[in-house]
Amino acid sequence: MKKIVFKGSGVALVTPMKENGDVNFEELEKLIDFHLKNKTDAIIVFGTTGEGATLKDDEKKEIIKVTLNKVKGKIPVIAGTGSNSTKRAIELSKMAQNLGCSAVLVVTPFYNKTSQEGLYNHYKIISESLDLPIILYNVPSRTGMTISPETYLKLSKIENIVATKEASGDISHIAKVISLCGDELMVYSGNDDQTLPVLALGGIGVISVFSNIFPKEMHDITSLFLENKLDASKELFFKYLNIMNMLFCDVNPIPVKEALNMLGFNCGKCRLPLFDLNNENKEKLKLLLKNYKLKK
């Protein structure tokens, strides 16, 4: 079996912004404290939800430093270091390694895309440049391509490629990947609303948007399942399914940042081209949050 970076609920952490669009590092520390107090099992910085695509390298470096300093080794810190340039992905991954991250999350190449053979070599060359564990990230709705089960099998033979975040939305695809790769590739759900199905197939957790606002609840959903307390896990999962889905009423992370602002955090807006949540969805989100907080 490969090294397990974490089991349970990893938060795909938002990047809080000031009114002028700069990263709000003071608020970032508050968010990290919130997760440490509420049993989040790992923190993933500047992935999709963290707006990694619009962050500069010096901002990414400082986010890692602040996060590691605050976490103090209590839980793994994972950096999103993917790029559609293999050279660039290596540079970002080496930065994360040198700063002390526990692992890197590397999305498939986007826009220029590649063949499955190109995809294999992209990840192989990245893996050869690092000592860190690598978590693959398959999200075809964002990138325009997918990792085939057969390519997953080839990649699972590489020692430091240890896991994947599967956000394909295709349960049959995920089942085939787990069937082929077994213990040589751990699987995290990349979609909150598919957490239980992926765990049922043999996944070991989730990299979650929902846990930004309900960290303990997502920790409990996963930990209960992994402890074989299936009914309790399922009950909690269905209780929060509506809000999980509501967080995707617009492009992620627009709704979850709005939700955090409603809950009293100062996360600001997303960087353009991501724009504000419309008023209709704001009202729906506000009402749903109010109802859930009253039910807790």
Known active-site residue 111 = no
In the chain, the amino acid numbered 47 is: G
For tokens 């787990």, the residue is 178
In the chain, the amino acid numbered 142 is: R
- Compute the distance between CA of residue 125 and CA of residue 121 in angstroms, rounded to an integer: 6
Say if residues 2 and 184 touch (Cβ distance below 8 Å): yes
- Name the β-bridge partners of 208: 11
Out of 120, 123, 137, 152, pick the active-site residue. 137
- Compute the distance between CA of residue 30 and CA of residue 266 in angstroms, rounded to an integer: 10
- Name the β-bridge partners of 188: 165, 205
Instruction: Compute φ and ψ for 75, nearest 5 degrees.
Output: -140, 160
Known active-site residue 137 = yes
Beta-carbon contacts of residue 245 (< 8 Å; ≥ 6 apart)? 193
Instruction: Compute φ and ψ for 288, nearest 5 degrees.
Output: -65, -45
CA 104 to chain centre: 11
Residue 85 in tokens? 């340039």
Out of 152, 165, 188, 240, pick the active-site residue. 165
Say if residues 230 and 34 touch (Cβ distance below 8 Å): no
- Name the β-bridge partners of 73: none
Say if residues 216 and 268 touch (Cβ distance below 8 Å): no
In the chain, the amino acid numbered 211 is: S
Looking at the annotation, which residues are catalytic?
137, 165
